Amino acid sequence: MIGARRMDGPSRGWRYIDLALLGSNTLRSYAVSLVRIILSPVLFIAVAWAAIFLLAARHWLPSAFVTGAVVATAFAAVIVAGMALAWSVARTHRRPWRSLVAADLRVDWRRLAIGAGVEAMLLLAFLSIPHLLTGQSWGIKPAMTRPSFVVVMLLIPFQAASEEMLFRGYLTQALGRIFRRRSTIVAIVGLVFGAMHFNAYGPLTVPYLFGLSVIFSIVSLRDERLELTIGAHAGMNWFAISAGALAAGHPDIRLNWAAFAALLLHGALFYGLTRLLVQRCCERSPAG
């Protein structure tokens, strides 16, 4: 394991980033892993969507289930990428796949619960205040069937873990072999993360998700592990899917500059609340 002592100040996060030193970091190992991580979900989603539309065309799959099936396979494709990533780290880079998650090579379930709970609470508060002030209704109108909704919600934690291990984990650790400034690593990860969601929420998608990625990177490097951001990512997607499933027919979400002010406040609260809860629930020494 890299370093037994928890580091503070300018060294914060390097214990986690340098976990890449546990295995092989050759150009070939990264090239082989990258091809595997990209091709696996592409092939999966091509086969899955072809099967869905073939079944729908022959009326073997009810039309009410098509939307849910397409959404579910999109989430499942990310999970396939995460599985390919874990396999590549273990087989090609020859280091434990848990080195993508935590400096101590263990998964802390309490941190996962803290990240998801704090994120859900903040999102509920931020989205409820306008409705309470204006008295507008939520406009409930289901967009997918209940079975599809349940399947998607069950897939989300694994999808969130796959994305976090790829961006805040693998990419961060790989860039640490090239750059020795955390700000440079965080900025590059943010740009790639934003670009992967290009124009999903309008022209401000990339800068907004860049900011979100920076917040997640700061939290994960502070904690030297990913469970808080995995939980937050899952909580965010649970909330987004729930809102989408209950508000069909509403206009697509488009980000504006006011969203950036909310993001800064959201990030500060998430950072502070998770730190407080981690100190109270995960880092206290046993009594006696």
Q: What is the 3-state secondary structure (H, E, C) of the chain?
A: CCCCCCCCHHHCCHHHHHHHHHCCCCHHHHHHHHHHHHHHHHHHHHHHHHHHHHHHHCCCCCHHHHHHHHHHHHHHHHHHHHHHHHHHHHHCCCCCHHHHCECCCCCCHHHHHHHHHHHHHHHHHHHHHHHHHHCCCCCCECCCCHHHHHHHHHHHHHHHHHHHHHHHHHHHHHHCCCCCCHHHHHHHHHHHHHHHCCCECECCHHHHHHHHHHHHHHHHHHHCECHHHHHHHHHHHHHHHHHHHCECCCCCCCCCCHHHHHHHHHHHHHHHHHHHHHHHHCCCCCCC
pTM, full prediction: 0.88
More confident residue, 125 or 35: 35
Q: What's the pLDDT at 249?
A: 42
Q: What's the pLDDT at 288?
A: 34
pLDDT level of residue 273 (50, 70, 90 thresholds): very high
pLDDT level of residue 98 (50, 70, 90 thresholds): very high
Least confident of 4-8, 125-129, 224-228: 4-8
Give percent of the chain with pLDDT exceeding 90: 65
- State pLDDT tens for residues 146-155: 888 889 999 9
